C-alpha cells in the first residue's frame, strides 16, 4: 500500500509538472500565437462556420486559447438551450451560467428575451505584443438603442477601485454608440445597462476626469454565414496592443487576477471571467489523471 501511495504521488507530481510545462510553452511556434484580424474565426481552431453548434467540438479552440461558450440558455433553465463549456484549449469543463436579476427584482436566464441578444462565446489569447479577443454575438455592430452592442471592458490591474466599476480600460466596439470603433480609452465613463443593471458595465461614450484616448485596437466586427434560431450572428475579432493597456512586458497569466467583460447595450446578456483560470482548470485535470492511475493500481493490487 505504501508503494502504491508513493507511486500515486509520483504520478500526480509528474502529471502536474507536464501540464505546467505545457502551459509555460508558447502555444504555437516561435514568438507565440498570432491571429489574422479579419473576422474569420478559423485561425482560433474553432469550427463555427461549418460545424454543428449543438456539439462541444464545434466550439473547442486550439491549444492555449482560454474560452467560455454559452450559446443560447444554460440547459438547467430549459427553453432554447446550447453548448455551455469553459476551459483552455482542449481542456474544458461544464460552464454554469447563473440567472441574473432584472431591474424589477425577478431572476431571469440569459440571454434575456432570447436569441437577438445572445452572446455565444468569448475566446482569449495573447503574445508578447497583443491581447487577442474573439467574440461570437447576435448583435449588429451598427445597431442602436436596445439592440446596440456593448463595448469591451478591461480590468487588467485586478483593482476594483481603479476605473468605473473597476474597469480602467475600454475598447469601443459599436459603430453607433459614440466615439469610434477600435478606440481604446483609459478611464471610460461606463454606463449601467437598463434592464439588468448588475450586468454592468455595457457601453461608454466618454471618459472620466483623468482619462484619455490611448491608441486604437484592430477590430473587425462582421456578420458570419451562420444564422442561429433565425437570427444573424457576428464575429468580433480584435488585437489590443499591450502597450496601450498597461500590459507591456506582462502576461495575462501573471497575477493579479484580471477580468475581461462584455455586456449588451441594454444589459440582456453578459460574459465575464477571471483570468487566469488556467491553473484552476489544468491542475484538477492532472489530479484526475493521477487518481485514475492510482485506482487502477489499487484494483490490480486486489487482483480485480
Ligand atoms: Ca481571424
Ligand atoms: Ca445563440
Ligand atoms: Ca449566451
Ligand atoms: Ca481596475
* pLDDT tens digits, 67-78: 999 999 999 999
Task: Compute the distance from residue 84 Cα to the ligand 2 centre, in Å.
Answer: 11
- Check pLDDT > 80 for residue 235: yes
Task: Compute the distance from residue 296 Cα to the ligand 3 centre, in Å.
Answer: 40
Number of domains the chain is built from:
1
Q: Which three cell numbers stand for residue 117?
A: 441578444
Ligand with an atom nearest the CA of residue 45:
1
* pLDDT tens digits, 173-229: 999 999 999 999 999 999 999 999 999 999 999 999 999 999 999 999 999 999 999
Residue 10 pLDDT? 46
* pLDDT tens digits, 107-141: 999 999 999 999 999 999 999 999 999 999 999 99
Residue 6 pLDDT? 53
Task: Compute the distance from residue 199 Cα to the ligand 1 centre, in Å.
Answer: 28
What phi and psi values does residue 45 have, to the nearest 5 degrees? 85, 10
- Check pLDDT > 90 for residue 171: yes
Task: Compute the distance from residue 57 Cα to the ligand 2 centre, in Å.
Answer: 16
**Distance between first and last Cα of the chain:** 16
Residue 198 pLDDT? 98
Residue 22 pLDDT? 43
What Å distances lie between residue 182 and 18, 67, 163, 178, CA to CA? 39, 22, 19, 12
Ligand with an atom nearest the CA of residue 77:
3
Task: Compute the distance from residue 202 Cα to the ligand 3 centre, in Å.
Answer: 15
Could you give the strand order of the β-sheet that contains 204-216, starting from the edge strand earlier in sequence?
204-216, 183-190, 169-171, 152-155, 258-263, 270-275
Helices (H), 25-147: 56-59
* Arithmetic mean of pLDDT over the chain: 87
Task: Compute the distance from residue 60 Cα to the ligand 4 centre, in Å.
Answer: 29
* pLDDT tens digits, 47-68: 999 999 999 999 999 999 999 9
Q: Which three cell numbers stand for residue 200?
A: 454592468
What Å distances lie between residue 221 and 72, 125, 225, CA to CA? 20, 18, 13
Task: Compute the distance from residue 303 Cα to the ligand 2 centre, in Å.
Answer: 50
Task: Map grid coordinates 457576428 to a residue.
Answer: 234
Residue 276 pLDDT? 79
Task: Compute the distance from residue 11 Cα to the ligand 2 centre, in Å.
Answer: 41
* pLDDT tens digits, 23-36: 443 344 445 558 99
Whether residue 32 contacts residue 25, with contact meaning beta carbons closer than 8 Å, is answered with no
Q: Which three cell numbers stand for residue 284?
A: 484538477
Ligand with an atom nearest the CA of residue 42:
1
Task: Compute the distance from residue 220 Cα to the ligand 1 centre, in Å.
Answer: 9
Task: Compute the distance from residue 72 Cα to the ligand 3 centre, in Å.
Answer: 5
* pLDDT tens digits, 143-157: 999 999 999 999 999
Domain carrying residue 262: 2-301
- Residue 233 or residue 291, greater confidence: 233
Task: Compute the distance from residue 166 Cα to the ligand 4 centre, in Å.
Answer: 4
Amino acid at each position: 500500500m505504501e508503494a502504491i501511495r508513493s507511486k500515486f504521488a509520483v504520478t500526480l507530481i509528474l502529471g502536474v509538472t507536464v501540464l505546467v510545462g505545457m502551459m509555460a510553452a508558447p502555444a504555437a511556434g516561435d514568438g507565440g500565437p498570432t491571429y489574422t484580424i479579419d473576422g474569420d474565426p478559423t485561425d482560433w481552431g474553432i469550427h463555427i462556420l461549418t460545424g454543428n453548434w449543438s456539439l462541444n467540438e464545434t466550439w473547442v479552440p486550439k491549444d492555449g486559447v482560454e474560452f467560455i461558450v454559452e450559446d443560447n440558455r444554460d440547459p438547467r433553465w430549459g427553453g432554447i438551450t446550447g453548448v455551455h463549456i469553459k476551459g483552455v484549449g482542449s481542456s474544458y469543463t461544464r460552464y454554469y451560467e447563473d440567472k441574473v436579476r432584472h431591474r424589477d427584482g425577478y431572476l431571469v436566464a440569459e440571454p434575456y428575451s432570447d436569441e437577438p441578444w445572445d452572446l455565444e462565446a468569448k475566446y482569449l489569447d495573447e503574445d508578447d505584443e497583443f491581447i487577442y479577443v474573439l467574440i461570437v454575438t447576435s448583435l449588429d455592430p451598427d445597431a442602436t438603442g436596445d439592440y446596440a452592442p456593448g463595448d469591451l471592458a478591461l480590468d487588467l490591474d485586478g483593482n476594483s477601485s481603479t476605473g468605473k466599476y473597476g474597469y480602467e480600460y475600454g475598447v469601443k466596439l459599436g459603430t453607433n454608440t459614440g466615439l469610434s470603433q477600435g478606440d481604446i480609452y483609459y478611464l471610460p465613463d461606463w454606463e449601467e445597462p437598463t434592464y439588468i443593471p448588475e450586468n454592468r458595465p455595457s457601453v461608454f461614450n466618454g471618459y472620466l476626469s483623468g482619462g484619455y484616448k490611448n491608441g486604437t485596437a484592430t477590430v473587425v466586427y462582421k456578420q458570419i454565414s451562420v444564422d442561429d434560431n433565425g437570427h444573424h450572428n457576428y464575429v468580433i475579432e480584435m488585437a489590443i496592443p499591450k502597450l496601450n493597456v498597461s500590459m507591456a512586458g506582462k502576461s495575462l497569466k501573471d497575477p493579479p487576477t484580471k477580468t475581461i467583460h462584455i455586456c449588451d447595450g441594454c444589459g440582456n446578456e453578459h460574459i465575464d471571467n477571471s483570468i487566469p483560470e488556467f491553473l484552476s482548470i489544468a491542475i484538477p485535470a492532472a489530479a484526475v489523471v493521477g487518481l485514475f492511475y492510482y485506482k487502477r493500481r489499487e484494483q490490480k493490487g486486489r487482483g480485480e
